[in-house]
């Protein structure tokens, strides 16, 4: 028991209350699979009231991966309707009447068949904005494609292995949630210019292409930053993945002061004393070999402790495969 003079223990720090900047905003989504629901997930986390209409058979994601589907639908009001039927169209019209932004992931031709082409939507609900997720921009939106093809086009599938994540889909979800914010901001600015208090600002149309998301993610590679032979492509000994005992270790000692600390771990005293010398040493083949030998003789636990103790950005991983 602490003595009477001991200071009272501090209460655990409270997590900051999450911001809800989209409270009061209503989003209706017709988008299935991953990009649209992932965007809706982010919008719901920002406080938007989100609803989703699925076809009678449900969202295919529910059949691919029930866990992913459950995570994506948390806090989302889910309805089911055949939008090609009169009853489905009636439900859609009721939902649109209280919607700020409509999120879709159909090809433009399919959207038009549902009466949701941009001109059609303006006639039905002029105040509703449309954020349309497509595969590729403009006329290419009608060309079939998927995450893998967009990543391949962007140069992010360099071998026969599949990418470790659905980067174009998730990048597209970020762009889509950003587009919703843009649409709301544009409407707000428009409302400030409307002289009549009861006038409803017109909605805006924004298109989000998954191929554009993939190209955005690929920019560092296009700039040459991550290609073999370049600084972040394996040339810097402090920015690589090395084998270690029991797994692998990702080393990201890129900045000179981190490189100096890494040199200190390996007993390179001269380099450790000078961030500039340490940084230059990281580009030498001998340093690559020295780092590789150092990592290969340490366990994951040892390296984790060294990283924490010496403030070096390293993360150990299980064996590949």
In terms of Cβ atoms closer than 10 Å to its own Cβ (0-12, 13-18, 19+), residue 31 is buried
Q: Are 136 and 145 in contact (CB under 8 A)?
A: yes
CB 206 within 8 A of CB 183: yes
Q: For the chain, what percent of residues have pLDDT higher than 90?
A: 88
User: pTM of the predicted model, to two decimals?
Assistant: 0.88
In a 10 Å sphere around its CB, with 0-12 CB exposed, 13-18 middle and 19+ buried, how is residue 270 labelled? exposed
pLDDT at res. 5: 44
Q: What pLDDT, on the 0 to 100 scale, is given for residue 197? A: 64
- Higher-pLDDT residue of 267 and 6 is 267
CATH code of 26-222, in short, is 3.40.50.10540
What is the pLDDT, as a whole number, of residue 11?
56
Mean pLDDT value across the chain: 93
Give pLDDT tens digits for 99-108. Answer: 999 999 999 9
Q: What token pair was written down for 56?
A: 């009678």
CATH of domain 231-317: 3.30.1540.10
**Could you tell me where in the chain the CATH 3.30.1540.10 domains are found?**
231-317
Q: Name the segment(s) of the chain with CATH classification 3.40.50.10540.
A: 26-222
- Work out the pLDDT band at 193, boundaries 50, 70, 90: confident
The three-class DSSP label of residue 17 is coil
- pLDDT tens, residue by residue, 70-97: 999 999 999 999 999 999 999 999 999 9
Of the listed ranges 198-202, 259-263, 304-308, the one predicted with least confidence: 198-202
What would the mean pLDDT of 188-205 be, rounded to a whole number?
80
């Amino acid at each position: 028991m602490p003595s009477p003079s001991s200071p009272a223990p501090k209460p655990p720090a409270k997590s900051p209350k999450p911001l809800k900047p989209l409270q009061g905003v209503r989003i209706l989504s017709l988008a299935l699979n991953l990009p649209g629901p992932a965007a809706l997930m982010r919008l719901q986390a920002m406080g938007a009231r989100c609803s989703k209409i699925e076809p009678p058979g449900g969202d295919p994601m529910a059949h691919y991966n029930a866990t992913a589907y459950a995570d994506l639908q948390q806090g989302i009001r889910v309805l089911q309707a055949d939008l090609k039927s009169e009853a489905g169209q009636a439900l859609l019209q009721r939902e649109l009447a209280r919607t700020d932004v409509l999120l879709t992931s159909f090809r433009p031709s399919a959207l038009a068949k549902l009466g949701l082409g941009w001109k059609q939507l303006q006639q039905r609900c002029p105040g509703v904005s449309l954020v349309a997720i497509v595969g590729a921009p403009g006329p290419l939106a009608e060309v079939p494609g998927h995450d893998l093809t967009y990543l391949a086009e962007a140069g992010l599938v360099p071998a026969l292995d599949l990418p470790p994540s659905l980067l174009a889909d998730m990048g597209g979800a970020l762009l889509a949630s950003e587009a919703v914010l843009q649409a709301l901001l544009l409407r707000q600015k428009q409302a400030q210019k409307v002289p009549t208090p009861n006038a409803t600002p017109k909605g805006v149309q924004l298109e989000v292409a998954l191929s554009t998301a993939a190209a955005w993610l690929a920019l560092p590679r296009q700039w040459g930053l991550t290609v073999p032979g370049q600084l972040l492509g394996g040339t810097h000994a402090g920015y690589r993945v090395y084998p270690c005992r029991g797994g692998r270790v990702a080393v990201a000692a890129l900045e000179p002061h981190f490189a100096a600390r890494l040199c200190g771990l390996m007993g390179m005293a001269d380099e450790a004393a000078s961030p500039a010398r340490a940084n230059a040493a990281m580009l030498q083949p001998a340093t690559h070999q020295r780092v590789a030998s150092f990592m290969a003789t340490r366990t994951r636990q040892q390296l984790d402790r060294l990283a924490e103790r010496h403030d070096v950005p390293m993360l150990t991983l299980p064996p590949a495969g």
